[in-house]
Structure 1
């Protein structure tokens, strides 16, 4: 019996769990998460990752009553990264820079308690998108766009669950964060810092606890901010939705947890542009990314994906 483990690597954390491939769920008792200092040394980061992954390995071996099963570890990994080779290319982005040109799989093997291990990697936004499409209750979608709204703005375009990164119907690399919007880039409008900057600009008060804090205030200023956010998001996304002919939009990230303040306005704006599509709000982004990454060990899916793994 093989064990499949999904791993979600964030800028300040790592989470992982063993996945039941029969019902596409995290096996109870195998989910672990921990903080990571992304500015630490290479050895410190790898050891930290290994500690959390080892907890999942040992828990899965105990639950499944096996100690010698082959283990497949699939990573939901931010870029820049060589997803085919497993070599990190973090440089100039203020996180994990000590891993630059490091083979993550080679280094991790030094510290894992199991040795019959294989590794697969995919971009974190793509993993969230794959996991999000697989969690839909019915197979109503063939073309989906998944976005994560948090400290940054992630995106993935999916055709029958397969991430699409090139072609006339998707933006370059399937990314949206770096695309132009209102004289800047989209990441500056659809991230936590935009909310904090807007709140300070309107009220003169400086907040530090993110969108959740703004949502908890519920005054005229916050209502204005969420309306502006809905207007901006619909204006920005509309051309991409139309060009990709998407029938599903999946929204995750910490900002999605405050969807009751912007979703209705956002949907109204899309309808005014004659855009009608299903919208799925996913509040547990990390676990969805874990599930999505684990799907890399679905061999039919992997055969379709591996020839087109992005390099970014």
Structure 2
């Protein structure tokens, strides 16, 4: 029996779970999550990651069909910048996990795990979310998918038959959208939590701290306009990429997507005006979807197809 553990690394958390490789669902009682101080030292960060992963390992080892010789594959949904093939972190100048710069995650982490009978694979977090979203939507006929995460940052993945596409004439460079120009800046500054907070402060003169959920709960003219502006910006920005990629499904995740009732209908209306016809799916649990997507790295057919083209950024 081979065991796969999916791990989602966020800017302030880690989540870990074992995955049933037959139907790609999380095995009950193996999901664990905890906060991480991304500004801590290398040792503190790695120890915290190991603490959560060890809880999943221990839960797996207590299952009736686990035997000592079973190798555990640990698959990471990892933000960039990161060398995904070598497993070396390149976090620098982005205000998170900078103590891990030029550190081999595999070499450091294995010293803190309860078992050494493990292997490691890594993929960009937005790509993992996209793969996980495709697995959840496997009953649909969608072949070409754009998956985006809307939260503290703006993540994106372009997928063709579940495969993340990072190069080619029909996708942006590295398959990323956060760094692409939009209006007077880059997309990340328009499709993230800080945009909402800045717009609310500009509109009302008040500062909020709880993010988009707090703004969504207010429901007055100011917040309605903010969500309308967001929808207009999002469709204006995404439309050319949707057309060029010929996408037939758009998957939305992240904390902002949880407030979709306030902007989704406007997005759909705007796309219809541009004669863009595609399905839109909302993923409520982005972390667990990313964990599912990362676990697919241990589908050997999938791994053989992507390992030579893992992004380096």
Residue of structure 2 in register with 1:77 after alignment: 78
Unaligned stretches of 5+ in structure 2? none
Residue of structure 2 in register with 1:53 after alignment: 53
**SS of structure 2 residue aligned to 1:90:** coil
After superposition, residues 20-59 of structure 1 pair within 5 angstroms as 20-59=20-59
**Residue 139 (structure 1) shift:** 3.6
**Residue 137 (structure 1) shift:** 4.9
1:64-109 deviation digits (Å, cap 9, x = unpaired): 4424111000000000000000000111111111111110001111
**Residue 61 (structure 1) shift:** 1.2
After superposition, residues 229-248 of structure 1 pair within 5 angstroms as 229-248=230-249
**Residue 239 (structure 1) shift:** 0.1
1:262-282 deviation digits (Å, cap 9, x = unpaired): 000000000000000010000
1:242-285 deviation digits (Å, cap 9, x = unpaired): 00000000000000000000000000000000000010000100
**SS of structure 2 residue aligned to 1:198:** helix
**Residue 26 (structure 1) shift:** 0.5
Is the aligned partner of 1:13 residue 2:51? no
Residue of structure 2 in register with 1:226 after alignment: 227
- Write the distance in 2 (CA, Å) between the matches of 1:202 and 1:91: 34
Instruction: With the length of structure 1 as denominator, give the TM-score of the two structures.
Output: 0.99
For this pair of structures, how many residues does the alignment match? Answer: 312
Is the aligned partner of 1:305 residue 2:300? no
- Write the distance in 1 (CA, Å) between the matches of 2:279 and 2:140: 12
After superposition, residues 48-197 of structure 1 pair within 5 angstroms as 48-68=48-68, 69-197=70-198
**Residue 63 (structure 1) shift:** 2.1
- Write the distance in 2 (CA, Å) between the matches of 1:166 and 1:237: 18
After superposition, the Cα gap between the structure-2 partners of 1:41 and 1:67, relative to the gap in structure 1 and judged at 3 Å, is: farther
1:4-43 deviation digits (Å, cap 9, x = unpaired): 0000000100001000111111000000001101111111
* RMSD of Structure 2 on Structure 1 (CA): 0.8
**SS of structure 2 residue aligned to 1:63:** coil
- Write the distance in 2 (CA, Å) between the matches of 1:66 and 1:302: 24
- Write the distance in 2 (CA, Å) between the matches of 1:104 and 1:83: 10
**Residue 121 (structure 1) shift:** 0.1
